[in-house]
Amino acid sequence: MEKEDRGVDKRRIMKITVGTRGSKLALIQTDWVIERLHELYPRIEITVKTIKTKGDRVRSTLEKIRGKGFFVKEIEEALLNREIDMAVHSIKDLPTELPKGLLIGAVTKRLDPGDALISKDGKKIDALPANSSIGTSSLRRKAQLLAYRQDLKIRDLRGNLDTRFKKLEKMEYSAIVVAACGVERFGWKDKITQILPTDIFLPASGQGALGIEIRVDDEEIKEVVKKLNDENSHICIVAERSFISTLGGGCRVPIGVLGDIKEQELSLQGVVLSPDGKRLIKSKIEGSKEEAIELGKELAFRIIELGGKDILKETVG
C-alpha cells in the first residue's frame, strides 16, 4: 500500500456519515464530494445527514444578526459529538477560527470565485440604465456596486439561489448579483450575463471552493479526505483567510479578497470599503506561495495603514 494511504484499507467497507445543510445547493455540493469519494474508494458506504443551522432558520435582517459560524455551528457540534464523520461546507461560510478539535481536512478545486451579474435584459454592469435596481443580500457586493456606480439602487435579496432567480423574474429588479460558483453548480451558467471583473469586484474569502471539515483526532478520515485537496486552491484560501483574520472585520464590514497562483508565485489583492461604497482602500501583494499566511497578514497591515483602520473602526463601532 502506498505511503500516503496508510490508515486506509481499500479492501474493507468503510462507513462514513457526511453532514451538510439541507439547501439545494448544499446538497448538490455534498453529492459532488460523495461522487469523488466513491471514485477513490469504491467500497465506501456514505450516509448523508442534513442539519438545519441558525442561518437556515432565520431569514430576516440576516446581515445584522449573523455572527461567527452562522451557517455551520450546528454542523460543527454534530462533528464534535461524533454524530457525523465529516462536514461539507462552502469555505466562505467557515469562520477563520475553528472550534478546538476541528480542522479543514481538504479544500476542493476552486470554481470561478467571482460574482455573477444576471440581468433581465442581458445588459452588463456598464450598460444598465441609471438608477437601475440591483438585488443582493451581501454587504460586500452592495458596497462594491456602489463604489463603482453610485446611481444604482441596491435592494435586499434573500433566499436560496433558485429563489433569487424567481424573484428576479417576479419583482422589480433590473439585475441580481450572486456567486458565480453557485450558478455553475446548479448548471445555470447560461443564465449569467457577466462575471464582474475582479479588478473591480473582489469576492468573499474562499468563494468558489468547498471545505471538508473533520476532527483533528480522526486519522483515518484525515487520510480519506486529503485526496480531495487541491493544493493551489488550498494555498490561496489559506492566504485569504489569514487576511480576513488579521483585519478582524467579520461579516459586518464589506471586505473582499482574492488569491491567485501562477507558477510558484502567489498574488493576493484585498479591499475594505465603507458600506455606502464612498470610501475604498485596496492593495495587492505578491510573494512565494509557501508564505501564504504571512502574505495575508502583510496585506491586511498594508490596508490598515492606508486608512482601512478608520473604516473598520467606524463600521464595527
Catalytic residue set: 93
Contact predicate 212/109, CB 8 Å: no
Closest CA to 312 of 250, 243, 268: 250
Residues 184 and 155: their CA atoms lie apart, in Å, by: 24
Residues 246 and 7: their CA atoms lie apart, in Å, by: 36
**CA dist list (Å): 120 to 158, 171, 181, 193:** 18, 11, 20, 9
Strands 175-179 and 133-136: parallel
Grid cell listed for 266: 502567489
For residue 262, the tally of other CB atoms under 10 A from its CB is 10
Adjacent-strand bridge partners of 226: none
Residues 20 and 89: their CA atoms lie apart, in Å, by: 7
Q: Which residues of 136-151 are buried (b: 16+ CB within 10 A; e: fewer)?
A: bbbbbbbbbbbbbbee
Q: Which residue matches cell numbers 451579474?
A: 117
For residue 19, the tally of other CB atoms under 10 A from its CB is 25
Contact predicate 106/228, CB 8 Å: yes
Residues 244 and 65: their CA atoms lie apart, in Å, by: 19
Residue 240 makes CB contacts below 8 A (sequence gap 6+) with 205, 206, 257, 258, 259, 268, 296
